[in-house]
Amino acid sequence: MIYSSSQLLDKFNAYLLRLSLDRNPKGLYEPIIYELSLGGKRLRPILMMFAYLLYKDDVDVLLPQAAGLEIYHNFTLLHDDVMDHSALRRGKPTVHKVWNENTAVLSGDAMTILAYQLMCQCKAPYINKVLDVFSKTALEICEGQQYDMDFEVRDNVSIEEYIEMIRLKTSVLLAGALKIGAILADASEEEQQKLYDFGIKIGLAFQLQDDYLDVYGDSKVFGKPIGGDILENKKTFMLISALNLSEEKQQQEMMRWIRAKEFNPKEKVAVITSIYNQLGIGDLVVEKIKTLYNEGLSILSSVNGREAYKSELEKFANHLMKRNM
């Protein structure tokens, strides 16, 4: 039997439901259950399972690690929402809005511990390697978040710095999921690295697509209000490119809105988006996304795993990159 991504998703969600999170104190665990119930595509568990299935069949053995990674991912989203003061996540109120910020922080801390507990539920020969990848990944995500916050107060962020920030904040978790799956399947170190590099490229493309959809997407599909990055002056690939390519008058207009303490949100989004349109920033980002995606597929093609699952993995990546574009 060849598992499809939808079948792996069903398998993973069934396992997640069986996890014993209905425990006391309710004030700690109910926000965790709520955060996980918000859904999402479960990209990281599915990538981990596909990486494993490239080499072995008994995919159920890594469900604890897949769950640990997904819980950790949702912890990062929970804390991101607190730091960004976000009111919605996947179209629903965020944890700190339903409860409060203190609860969100503490429940997020508990999610990290739960993630590590699940990561350790593998056979002894794998524990050190799995935890090395997971710990390195978790620390790099924190580094990426710090860079993201640092960039908020800088006007001179380069494209290279931004790419490194999203590599740390987003890509390494996708890459880590693939590498852990390969480790648990006894793949060679060369194969592990190829899958990791594939994950980095796809992760970069995925995050740049997030930047694009924040400006040009449908809020009902995207799950967040359109223009959030513009309103928060996030140094995205789009804003940095616009500042680099703009003429003096356009640059002055963007900086005026960036520095404004009081403004009409709809007007700010409309003005900045108009400048993006004038400069062709949307097309520029789409081209960069395609380049990174194709580089990722090239790496995947060199992997020596089973062709059927290489095809499923490519199909899954392709499905991700066509979300409302």
Model pLDDT for residues 189-234, shown as the tens digit of each residue: 999 999 999 999 999 999 999 999 999 987 666 556 688 899 989 9
Model pLDDT for residues 301-317, shown as the tens digit of each residue: 999 999 999 999 999 99
Note the pLDDT of residue 41.
86
What is the Cα–Cα distance from 132 to 300, expressed in whole angstroms?
23
Question: What distance lies between CA 108 and its chain's CA centroid?
Answer: 17
What is the Cα–Cα distance from 94 to 101, expressed in whole angstroms?
10
138-166 mean pLDDT: 94
With the C-alpha atoms ordered 137, 139, 140, 142, is the resulting torsion angle positive or negative?
Answer: positive
43-54 mean pLDDT: 97
Note the pLDDT of residue 325.
43
Length of the chain: 325
Note the pLDDT of residue 7.
96
With the C-alpha atoms ordered 300, 306, 312, 313, is the resulting torsion angle positive or negative?
Answer: negative
What is the Cα–Cα distance from 271 to 242, expressed in whole angstroms?
13
Q: What are the angstrom distances between the C-alpha of 15 and each of 9, 34, 68, 117, 132?
A: 10, 16, 11, 15, 24
Tokens for 121, please give them: 């539920």
For 276, counting Cβ atoms within 10 Å of its Cβ (0-12 exposed, 13-18 middle, 19+ buried), the class is buried
User: What's the whole-model pTM score?
Assistant: 0.93
- Going by pLDDT thresholds of 50, 70 and 90, the confidence category of residue 292 is very high
- Going by pLDDT thresholds of 50, 70 and 90, the confidence category of residue 168 is very high
Note the pLDDT of residue 246.
95
CATH code of the region 5-321: 1.10.600.10
What is the Cα–Cα distance from 196 to 188, expressed in whole angstroms?
12
Note the pLDDT of residue 222.
58
Compute how many other C-beta atoms are within 10 angstroms of the C-beta atom of residue 279: 19
Note the pLDDT of residue 223.
54
Model pLDDT for residues 4-14, shown as the tens digit of each residue: 999 999 999 99
What φ, ψ does residue 93 adopt, rounded to 5°? Answer: -60, 140
Choose the weakest-confidence range: 36-45, 53-62, 118-127, 268-277.
Answer: 36-45
Compute how many other C-beta atoms are within 10 angstroms of the C-beta atom of residue 318: 11
Cβ contact 98:34 at 8 Å = yes
The helix/strand/coil state of 88 is strand
The yes-or-no verdict on residue 324 having pLDDT over 60 is no
Q: What are the angstrom distances between the C-alpha of 286 and each of 143, 213, 235, 290, 322?
A: 27, 10, 17, 6, 11
What is the Cα–Cα distance from 66 to 75, expressed in whole angstroms?
14
